[in-house]
């Protein structure tokens, strides 16, 4: 059973370009979370999704950021018109449909905006 | 609760000593708690969890203590090893919500 897969591991974008970060949850997991981490800081919640639904996006910036988790395929975190301040590590986690259980994390995508 | 962008506090211990990492959580209605370990350049890795109906849970070399009265969680690592050097985060899950809130983290530095 493969773990949570994120790709790419490293992504470099110029200011103004778009960044697409992908997350394939563990098999059987229908809940996906995205977190952002700046160097030497904690994990900041961005968005919580279930298949085809955004459950909680209270941590997402109002502009330029969007997330989806389609019926088929990975979850995508999309950042439009990136700025230097978007440079960070973005982590995805997944958990099973219900119950009290841990969330499993991917290895993250490190976005660098130049 | 959520990290607010503070730089990580650091705990330095000697190899072989016991380590205690503390965490204050935000919501008295939280019903599930997890400790994660994050090594440099990697994603957080599950260490141990505890449900709100318990006060203590032990794993291999690790013990988690939960004090609901003061909303405090601690992670004890016995006989700390250099491989334990990492950042440790506590996470809480609010009852009836399926979202995890992370504490700001503590950096553990084990000196050989």
Tell me how far apart the alpha carbons of residues A19 and B93 are, in angstroms, rounded to a whole number: 30
Q: Of A93, A100, A103, which is closest to B31 when you measure between CB atoms?
A: A100
- B94–A contact, CB cutoff 8 A: no
pLDDT higher at A29 or A16: A16
Residue A75: CB atoms within 10 Å: 23
Q: Of B3, B99, B105, which is closest to A33 when you measure between CB atoms?
A: B99
Contact (CB<8Å) A42/B7: no
- Residue A56 pairs with which residues in a beta bridge? A48
Output the DSSP codes for B50-90.
EETT-SEEE-SSEEEEEETTTTEEEEEESS--GGG-EEEEE
Mean pLDDT for B6-14 is 82
* Contact between B92 and B30 (Cβ < 8 Å): yes
DSSP state of B68: T
* Contact between A103 and B101 (Cβ < 8 Å): no
Q: Percent helix, strand and coil across chain B, each rounded to 5?
A: 5, 55, 45
Q: How do residues B40-96 score in pLDDT, each as one tens digit?
A: 889 999 999 999 999 999 999 999 999 999 999 999 999 999 999 999 999 998 777
- B112–A contact, CB cutoff 8 A: no
Confidence band for B7, pLDDT divided at 50, 70 and 90:
low
Query: Quick one: pLDDT at residue A41?
Result: 81
Query: Quick one: pLDDT at residue B87?
Result: 94
B27-86 residues touching A, CB cutoff 8 A: 31-32, 34, 36, 42-46, 49, 51
d(CA A102, nearest CA chain B) in Å: 7
- Residue B21 pairs with which residues in a beta bridge? B75
* CA distances (Å), origin B65, targets A85, B17, B62, B79: 37, 18, 10, 17
d(CA A40, nearest CA chain B) in Å: 6
Q: How do residues A50-108 score in pLDDT, each as one tens digit?
A: 999 999 999 999 999 999 999 999 999 999 999 999 999 999 999 887 666 788 999 99
pLDDT higher at A53 or B103: A53
From the list A78, A68, A61, the residue with the least C-alpha distance to A19 is A78
Query: Quick one: pLDDT at residue B4?
Result: 38
């Amino acid at each position: 059973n493969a773990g949570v897969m994120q790709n790419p591991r490293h992504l470099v974008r110029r200011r103004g370009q778009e960044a697409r970060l992908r997350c394939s949850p563990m098999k059987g997991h229908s809940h996906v979370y995205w977190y952002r981490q700046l160097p030497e800081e904690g994990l900041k919640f961005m968005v919580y999704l279930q298949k085809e639904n955004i459950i909680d996006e209270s941590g997402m910036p109002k502009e330029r950021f969007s997330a989806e988790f389609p019926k088929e395929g990975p979850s995508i975190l999309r950042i439009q018109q990136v700025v230097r301040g978007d440079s960070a590590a973005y982590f995805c986690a997944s958990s099973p449909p219900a119950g009290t259980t841990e969330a499993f994390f991917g290895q993250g995508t490190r976005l660098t905006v130049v | 609760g959520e990290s607010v962008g503070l730089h990580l506090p650091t705990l330095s211990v000697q190899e072989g000593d016991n380590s205690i990492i503390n965490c204050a959580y935000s919501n008295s209605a939280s019903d599930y708690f997890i400790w994660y370990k994050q090594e440099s350049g990697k994603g957080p890795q599950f260490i141990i969890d505890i449900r709100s109906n318990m006060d203590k849970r032990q794993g291999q070399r690790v013990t988690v203590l939960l004090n609901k009265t003061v909303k405090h969680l601690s992670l004890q690592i016995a006989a700390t090893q250099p491989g334990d050097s990492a950042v440790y985060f506590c996470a809480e899950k609010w009852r009836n919500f399926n979202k995890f809130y992370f504490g700001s983290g503590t950096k553990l530095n084990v000196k050989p």
